[in-house]
Amino acid sequence: MTATVDILRDLHRIHTQLTDLRARLERCPKQLDAAQARLVRAESGHEHQKAGIQKLTLASKEQELLLGEREARVDILKGKLRECSSNKEYQTLNDEITAINENVSSISDEILQQYDHLEEEQASLDTLHNDLEDSRTSLVETESYIAQEESSLATEISRIELQLKDAEGDLPHDYRSEYSRMTDARGPEGLAEVIDNCCGTCFQQISLQMESELRVGKMVQCKGCAAILYSSQ
């Protein structure tokens, strides 16, 4: 009779172990997905930042061109100033030069601001680039770790499944169909150790009659969760 208790305890332990190993195996592809998603995010962030910098660079090149044109215009006007014949003409040219110079100075300020902005954006790009490299490395490492983990978990699961078959072979015949039904449906929760007169799975108290039935080696199921009970008392 004691032997059945030991077999049930053993089966309970094996089912718990198998459930844990299978859950770990199931998590493997999810870990891989997460590493891949991180890389995709890093790539898109990096691309987006690069495109923004290209746009800013183009805008500042246009401003530089404009600045060059304005400065050339001032040179031409200064030449005309030397050749002009009337005060009125001189005044008109001088006004135009002053206006253009004001414009030149505001374009120069804008260009300087664009340079500062570009520098900040470039620093962000460097950070994103590092993140991209980290994500690539992390994906390669995750792929190799997961391949190893999957293979060792699969080996371990096969080994434990054999142990389960062996232990199930020792189970008394009158337990077998209910045991299969319960463990197929609920895994390790199909079995429960009685702890302090309670079911170890759902904690419902067991009756005196159930206790005495357990003591004489009868198959007893919890009234709360239907787990097949075993007790070392």
Q: Please say which residue, 217 or 224, places its beta carbon nearer to Zn ion.
A: 224
Q: Is 198 a residue that touches Zn ion (CB under 5 A)? A: no
186, 202, 217, 221: which one binds Zn ion (CB under 5 A): 202
Q: Is 231 a residue that touches Zn ion (CB under 5 A)? A: no
Nearest to 17 by CA among 160, 155, 148: 160
Q: Is 224 a residue that touches Zn ion (CB under 5 A)? A: yes
User: In whole angstroms, how close is the CB of 186 to Zn ion at the nearest point?
Assistant: 11
Q: Which stretch binds Zn ion (CB under 5 A): 66-74, 129-137, 150-158, 225-233?
A: 225-233
Nearest to 7 by CA among 217, 206, 226: 217
201, 206, 210, 214: which one binds Zn ion (CB under 5 A): 201
CA distances from 110 to 3, 56, 60, 70, 131 (A): 88, 12, 9, 14, 31
Q: Please say which residue, 1 or 195, places its beta carbon nearer to Zn ion.
A: 195
Q: Is 225 a residue that touches Zn ion (CB under 5 A)? A: yes
Which helix or strand (DSSP H or E) is residue 194 part of? strand 191-195
User: In whole angstroms, how close is the CB of 155 to Zn ion at the nearest point?
Assistant: 34
Nearest to 219 by CA among 177, 175, 184: 175
Q: Please say which residue, 129 or 186, places its beta carbon nearer to Zn ion.
A: 186
Q: Is 191 a residue that touches Zn ion (CB under 5 A)? A: no
Three-class secondary structure assignment of 35-102: HHHHHHHHHHHHHHHHHHHHHHHHHHHHHHHHHHHHHHHHHHHHHHHHHCCCHHHHHHHHHHHHHHHH
For residues 11 and 37, give the distance between their C-alpha atoms in angstroms, rounded to a whole number: 40
Q: Is 222 a residue that touches Zn ion (CB under 5 A)? A: yes
User: In whole angstroms, how close is the CB of 225 to Zn ion at the nearest point?
Assistant: 3
Chain contacts with Zn ion (rule: CB under 5 A): 199, 201-202, 204, 222, 224-225, 227
